[in-house]
Amino acid sequence: MLKSIAIDRNEVLKHYKTIAVDTHKGIQGHALLIGGSYGKMGAVCLSSKAALKTGCGLVTAFVPKCGYEILQIAIPEVMVLTDAKKRCISNINFDFQPNAIGIGPGMGQDEVTQKTFLKLLRTNKSPLVIDADALNILSKNKAWFLLLPARTILTPHPKELERLIGEWNSEEEKFEKTISFSLQYNVIVVMKGVPTHIVDGETIYKNTTGNPALATAGSGDVLTGIITSLLAQSYEAVQAAILGVYLHGLTADIAVPKTGFQSFIASDIISHIGEAFLSLE
Ligand SMILES: NC(=O)C1=CN([C@@H]2O[C@H](COP(=O)(O)OP(=O)(O)OC[C@H]3O[C@@H](n4cnc5c(N)ncnc54)[C@H](OP(=O)(O)O)[C@@H]3O)[C@@H](O)[C@H]2O)[C@@H](O)CC1
Ligand SMILES: Nc1ncnc2c1ncn2[C@@H]1O[C@H](COP(=O)(O)OP(=O)(O)O)[C@@H](O)[C@H]1O
Ligand SMILES: [Mg+2]
């Protein structure tokens, strides 16, 4: 098996930043979360709330029009921009420079959504986190890999990874293919699973937190919000991924003695993130 670096408390403390007393929301990072479609607005609600709950000063969500009231009511702290289309995203448009963008949760893969994603890739100047349907769209249009900014973070679950890099016949081959992909496009791949590994070129990190309580709808959407938030707060890309997967898993380890495995839901990740941070102080 390939050598990996354990993501444990010591490892994350090497780069963990405490909050400065004189900080303000304007310098705590502004994250933009793009996603949602009719029936899957919950995904972007979870990502946006997770971004706020991990220290980002400002969070804006870009959603189809039908998501406006859902977002405003679910999370009043999040600002909302809407697409012209009601049920899916067709024209991504915003007039500020986000410190990081997370795209994909609940977004769907409509033709018009694919087109506007391509336009974003051509014009974007912000660090990116790519998840869910944004990954699936890339897998359908592999030439677009070349448009990814250096150090983009991709967060595939095993099926999404297979769509990206093709099938593998052994664990070793899976890592070999992911390492080549990471090197070829200069991107970071968060291989979500049990456990989650992060591949940054030839360096592999292996997470030590988390448990089966995380096998619940929306837990990946929450992770996307956490990593985007840390990236917006100026963590270097691989450090944002490392701290993000560590805290995400730790919430479940902290919560399970109280919630049990079965009743733990993605919102419980968000409600335990404070305790996860406190364990680093
Ligand atoms: N509340 C909301 O709004 C929510 C919205 N959501 C949004 O829905 C959209 C679709 O996302 P999705 O991941 O559900 O669909 P998809 O990519 O087809 O993958 C499913 C297939 O992949 C596999 N598979 C998955 N995990 C695996 C694992 N650990 N280990 C092994 N295999 C694994 C498994 O395949 P199987 O094993 O059945 O062959 C499974 O059938 C996306 O936009 C997302 O953000 C969701 O986040 C939920 C909450
Ligand atoms: N049995 C498990 N043990 C630890 N972590 C898990 C387990 N099952 C799922 N997870 C974690 O939960 C998340 C699931 O992500 P994903 O499949 O994208 O969910 P969704 O799309 O529903 O938000 C990943 O971070 C994954 O590592
Ligand atoms: Mg997912």
Query: Other C-beta atoms within 10 Å of 130: how many?
Result: 25
The string of DSSP letters for 165-205 reads H---SSHHHHHHHHHHHHHHHT-EEEE-SSS-EEEETTEEE
CA distance 252 to 207: 13
At residue 2, the pLDDT reads 80
User: What does pTM read for this prediction?
Assistant: 0.98
Q: Residue 225 sits in a domain of what CATH number?
A: 3.40.1190.20
What ipTM goes with this model?
A: 0.97
pLDDT digits (tens, 9 = 90+) for 163-195: 999 999 999 999 999 999 999 999 999 999 999
Question: How many A from CA of 6 to the centre of ligand 1?
Answer: 26
CA distance 63 to 45: 10
Name the nearest CA neighbour of 58 among 33, 35, 29, 81: 29
Residue 161 clears pLDDT 80, i.e. is over it = yes
Residue whose CA is closest, atom 29 of ligand 1?
193
Average pLDDT, the chain: 98
pLDDT digits (tens, 9 = 90+) for 95-137: 999 999 999 999 999 999 999 999 999 999 999 999 999 999 9
Band the pLDDT of 1: cuts 50, 70, 90: low
Q: Which domain holds residue 235?
A: 5-15+23-279
Ligand showing the shortest atom-to-Cα distance for residue 158:
1
The total number of structural domains that make up the chain:
1
Ligand showing the shortest atom-to-Cα distance for residue 41:
1
Strands, sheet with 5-7, edge to edge from the N-terminal-most edge strand: 5-7, 203-207, 197-200, 188-191, 153-154, 128-130, 100-103, 30-34, 58-63, 79-82
